[in-house]
Amino acid sequence: MSAPVFVLGGYQTDFSRHLARQGHDLAELVRETVQETLHAAVIDPSEVGCIHVGNAFGELFTGQAQLGAMPATVYPQLWGVPAARHEAACASGGIAVLAAMADLEAGRYDCALVLGAEQQRNVPGEVAAQHLGSAAWVGHEGQGCRYLWPHMFAQLGDEYERRYGLVRHHLARLAAKNFANARRNPKAQTRTWRFGPDAFGESEQENPVIEGRIRRQDCAQLTDGAAGLVLASARFAAAYAQRHGRPMDKLPRVLGWGHRTAGLSLAEKLRRSEGELYVLPHLRQAITDAFTRAGIGGPQALHGIETHDCFTVTEYLAIDHFGITAPGESWRAIEDGRLEAGGALPINPSGGLIGAGHPVGATGVRMVLDAALQVSGQAGATQVAGARTFATLNLGGSATTVVSFVLGT
């Protein structure tokens, strides 16, 4: 990367909150996140040059559009600051980070506030599923199923099984890992959840089928939540480090990024990859683009990963697409324990989307925040010992939009 972008600080709300029951709404969530993000980064509102907001479904869940204007609405000190809202389904947060980076790299501004926010628990579950389904190719796929996204990712699992084989036990191991990691995360949605002896098996009482091969514990959560970051140019970061007496080489920075977009149709994605090594080659490209820009050769240079696990099969996909194993052999990394919290390459020490929660527009921002905390040794109870380089992978739709980052110090 020609122009480094630094992470000066950030904030995540408690993902276990139920806003409607508390009498709060999306505006209150944004206000809290703006205030606490600026406080964590020790930045005055007057220093913010631009704002980028990730939000996927505001109009559907809350009726509110024009969410780029929400920060100034609820935090008047930001009145007049240029702002934009970004939508790319579950990758909305990743796209907001990329947009902020582009502003900084172009020299338009030196300090950017990035937010991701979503309220999803204010409607019944089946209505929420319908809203989320708008990120597929509406009218062309998933018709007739009750829950569209479990249905779609069950198809992805079916494709893995057809090409390479896929054992149910390995998906269950990923779910159990992420829920266990979430117990150490003080802001995880499921941190207090407890499970019975058959919760990760095939019990229709404890782990019922949702769609196809997808069972309840294979699924990420419907979540109300937000996350924020302050990003800065090298010039701003140098002055900031001097002002606060912090060594600049200890500030987290984005080392590399990758961004690829395919068509909406999952069936077409799978058709195009027939005969390829990877089930989703464009996803593999986004990751290798991030590695190349970061100047690293592969996952052996990483100390951990925060990846999209909207379903366990999505994390299974990420394992071989990151190059941790050969294509189709993700099960090897699950069996040998390297992905566990104390393993050689932990994945989702936060608990991921399954354990920590998945407020759609905030997920990509939350991942970058967690990676920045990891490489600066500030991740608390979820800290990976000695972490200096961390990667993220944020997906929208059926991996339609893919964003990957590598962070380090």
User: What local confidence, expressed as pLDDT, does residue 259 receive?
Assistant: 98
Q: What is the pLDDT of residues 68-99, one digit of tens each?
A: 999 999 999 999 999 999 999 999 999 999 99
Mean pLDDT of 342-370: 98
| Distant-in-sequence, close-in-space partners of 346: CB < 8 Å, separation ≥ 6 | 303, 304, 305, 339, 340, 384
CB 231 within 8 A of CB 75: no
The confidence score (pLDDT) of residue 91 equals 98
Mean pLDDT for 218-229 is: 98
Report which DSSP code applies to 358: -
CB 119 within 8 A of CB 25: yes
Examine the pLDDT at 3 and tell me if it is beyond 90: no
Domain architecture of the chain: domains with CATH? 5-123+222-244 (3.40.47.10)
How would residue 172 be classed by pLDDT, with cut points 50, 70 and 90? very high
| Position 144 pLDDT exceeds 90 | no
Q: Please state, rounded to an integer, the average pLDDT across all residues of the chain.
A: 97
What is the average pLDDT across 120-131? 96
* pLDDT tens track for 44-74: 999 999 999 999 999 999 999 999 999 999 9
At residue 1, does pLDDT exceed 80?
A: no
Please return the burial class of 194, using the count of CB atoms within 10 Å of its CB with bins 0-12, 13-18 and 19+. exposed
CB 390 within 8 A of CB 302: yes
Whole-angstrom distance, CA of residue 101 vs CA of residue 302 = 22
Backbone angles phi, psi at 384, to 5 degrees: -90, 120
Q: Which percentage of the chain shows pLDDT scores above 70? A: 100
Any bridge partners for residue 256, and if so which? 406
Using left for φ > 0, alpha for ψ between -120 and 50, and beta otherwise, residue 331 falls in alpha
> Which pLDDT does position 2 carry in this prediction?
73
Determine the 3-state secondary structure of 12 from DSSP.
strand
Distance CA 383, CA 362 (A): 21
339: left (phi over 0), alpha (psi -120 to 50) or beta: alpha
Q: Give the Cβ contact number of residue 276 at 10 Å.
A: 12
Query: What are the tokens at 193?
Result: 């959840």
